[in-house]
Amino acid sequence: REKTGARITSQFKKSLKSAISEKDVEHAYWEMLRSYYPEDILDSRYNTDGVLETMFFKLLMEVKYDKCLLSRKDLCSILIQVLYYIKIFELNNESKPNLILVGDKDECFIIHSNHLFPYLDEDIDWSIAPSSAAEANPQLVLKLEKDNNIKPFIFSIAKSFNCNDV
């Protein structure tokens, strides 16, 4: 598994290094996930960047090209978009993802979606496109920024990064 992880990590980093768009970054994350979970469902239902379903978890993926995930405001703005996607699952009576993977060219993190579930009851316009949700809900972004339960460990995708760690 260690050699396989090293091979996957090497290919993942190579793909990210050559990425010139968000779609390229998304492709790199899809390939990495497919390497670890070749038999499981990976699709882009509800126009997400990806949903991976295994018998143990359901992971929702949101990728960006060049956001600073170390910036609390950027991180929470992305999580608002993720929250809107989770709401779509809920509105469609589908089980909600229990894990969230947010990835970029330079960083990534995974959090449990339970941290976002309380926000599904917010009195906001849920008809807004997820990609515009943070812009339309600045107060909600601020609320997430102040939420001490949302403190993901940000992995830097640098020389010492290993996909197995994530």
Of all residues in the chain, the percent with pLDDT exceeding 90 is 90
Contact 33, 45 (CB under 8 A): no
Secondary structure (DSSP) of 60-114:
EEEE-SS--TTSHHHHHHHHHHHHHHHHHHHHTT-PPPSEEEEE-SSEEEEEEGG
Model-level pTM? 0.94
Give the model's pLDDT for residue 2.
Answer: 54
pLDDT tens digit sequence for 115-153: 999 999 999 999 999 999 999 999 999 999 999 999 999
Contact 50, 61 (CB under 8 A): yes
Q: Which residues of the chain have pLDDT under 50?
A: 1
What's the token pair of residue 40?
């499981």
Give the model's pLDDT for residue 3.
Answer: 56
